[in-house]
Structure 1
Amino acid sequence: MTDAPAPPASLARLADFADLDHDRAERRGYPEAVYCEGKTPAQVGAIAAAVRDCGTATTLFTRASPEHAEAVLTEVPDARYDREARMLAWPPEPPDPTGGPVVVVAAGTSDLPVAREALLTVTHLGRACDLVVDVGVAGLHRVLARLDLLRGARAIVVVAGMDGALPSVVAGLVPAPVVAVPTSVGYGAAFGGIAPLLAMLNACSPGVAVVNIDNGYGGGHLAAQIAAPAPRAGA
């Protein structure tokens, strides 16, 4: 009888503030993500070291400040860092895509940070993904010009602030489910994303699911699950 291997020393660094869910990918099919906002760079760096040493599946670090990114890159220098999305991914290369394609749609350029968070999430969870930018309802010809791409998607993530009308428009044109992500983009009466959130929850078109304000990760994750390969018979 052989002794079980000793856990990596890096796990001991987490004892006071984290307990990583290394089995989540096995249990759910998708790995745990690390939400960095509110954590210190030292805490995020220690988590990155444990992820590296334990061989955890693809791990996303979301809402990462430049200081968080520096701490992660110190432990895993090859991690992919997208400053605009405030996200890191390790390992840096996404898996080969399976399942159906996803399209992420950004209503305006100001919505791009959240849209890129959704895009990277979808990609690193193993789906092919395209990004369509600046197609808000102020110029409907722009979204109509992308209908062929949109109608070929298994799932669509629509990211919008201001009046939040774009998810309803898109959902009325395509067969795929639409995941609506309200953003905090907008003038005062948008109330930091509350106005588009309520508009999306009241969508007239069926087939629209809504995630929280600025939650590109949550929107991308849901779309990746919708677009997953069909389970094998008997599995």
Structure 2
Amino acid sequence: MDQSYLKNILNMVAKGEKMPDEALELLKNLPYEELGFAKIDQHRNLRTGYPEAIFCQGKTPEQVVAIVEKMMRSNTNIMATRASQETYELVKQMVPDAVYHEAARIIVIKRKELVVRDHYIAVVSAGTADIPVAEEAAVTAETIGNRVERIYDVGVAGIHRLFARLDLIRAANVIIVVAGMEGALASVVGGLVDKPVIAVPTSVGYGTSFGGISALLTMLNSCASGVGVVNIDNGFGAGYLASNINKLGYAE
């Protein structure tokens, strides 16, 4: 490949300009950027429509900062999940406009304003203790261009709280249900709506919840149709999947 042609393409990416179809096909297969301790997939945004997210858990703050610095060259919005306050403070020294969503533990750096879709995603939590995972899902969905409605603390122990918000939930295009303990809320919601339900089991619960396994198995064994399940505490995965569903029918 001609290097000047590649350079022109990368400049177009940085400026957010529309590229020829053949250039897009070419970039979809280009290699990653090597940092030694990490391989940054700078072209994921072209293949999937979303930039690579940084999973901070297990990485040092210095490693996260180095990854952020490289990713900023592509002028994409950056999301760093499971980030500590310490990591955020170090990132903020380099990127003053970085925002930290404390409950979700997500750092967001915006370089482009996304078009927010009219149809919204409802994020429903069973209890207040499930909010950190629910917020991870909500912030993820918002960051990648979705309107989100939050309906928290409406678990089956006080099911009248759920019924009071049912109109808002039913009007959503996709519903994320986050629940720990026995995880029954996802089945209840699934039996009340005609939209896709993404169930997120959380590790909230007493001993026999087995760190979320009880909720996971309940959700997997749901008798309500239209309920899909992501991994324990995986709010990010739920928000990402909900966004993919929500964008169906929209011209990109």
Q: Tell me if 1:197 matches 2:216.
A: yes
**1:19 CA drift (Å):** 1.8
Contact 1:98–1:229 (CA<8 Å) still a contact in 2?
no
SS of the aligned residue for 1:117 comes to helix
What residue in structure 1 maps to residue 104 of structure 2? 85
**Match 1:170 to one of 172, 189, 198:** 189
**1:92 CA drift (Å):** 7.4
SS of the aligned residue for 1:67 comes to helix
Equivalences for 1:1-235 in 2 at 5 Å?
Answer: 3=4, 15-55=35-75, 57-91=76-110, 95-98=114-117, 100-230=119-249, 232=251
The C-alpha deviation readout for 1:47-71, integer Å capped at 9, x for no partner, is 111122331x222100001122122
Contact 1:107–1:166 (CA<8 Å) still a contact in 2?
yes
RCO greater where, 1 or 2, for CA within 8 Å and sep 6 or more? 1
Contact 1:178–1:209 (CA<8 Å) still a contact in 2?
yes
Contact 2:54–2:81 (CA<8 Å) still a contact in 1?
yes
**1:22 CA drift (Å):** 1.5
SS of the aligned residue for 1:31 comes to coil
Query: Which AA in structure 2 matches 1:176?
Result: K
Identity, in percent, stands at: 49
User: Normalising to structure 2: TM-score of the pair?
Assistant: 0.84
Distance change >3 Å, CA 125–CA 200, structure 1 → 2: same
Q: Which runs of 5+ in 2 are unaligned?
A: 11-32
Output the CA distance in 2 between the equivalents of 1:148 and 1:110: 24
Contact 1:99–1:228 (CA<8 Å) still a contact in 2?
no
Query: Which AA in structure 1 matches 2:38?
Result: A
Output the CA distance in 2 between the equivalents of 1:99 and 1:177: 17
Output the CA distance in 1 between the equivalents of 2:119 and 2:50: 16
Q: Which runs of 4+ in 1 moved over 2 A?
A: 1-5, 92-96
**1:130 CA drift (Å):** 0.6
Contact 1:100–1:229 (CA<8 Å) still a contact in 2?
no
Output the CA distance in 2 between the equivalents of 1:93 and 1:157: 26
Distance change >3 Å, CA 94–CA 102, structure 1 → 2: farther
Q: Which runs of 5+ in 1 are unaligned?
A: 8-12
Distance change >3 Å, CA 217–CA 231, structure 1 → 2: same
**1:2 CA drift (Å):** 8.1
The C-alpha deviation readout for 1:6-31, integer Å capped at 9, x for no partner, is x9xxxxx9621112111111111122
**1:93 CA drift (Å):** 7.8
User: Normalising to structure 1: TM-score of the pair?
Assistant: 0.90
Contact 1:114–1:215 (CA<8 Å) still a contact in 2?
yes
The C-alpha deviation readout for 1:103-134, integer Å capped at 9, x for no partner, is 00011000010000100011111111111010
**1:96 CA drift (Å):** 3.0
Distance change >3 Å, CA 179–CA 228, structure 1 → 2: same
Q: Which deviates more, 201-210 or 223-232?
A: 223-232
Count of residue pairs the alignment pairs up: 227
The C-alpha deviation readout for 1:183-214, integer Å capped at 9, x for no partner, is 00000000110100010000110111100111
For the aligned residues, what is the CA RMSD? 2.2
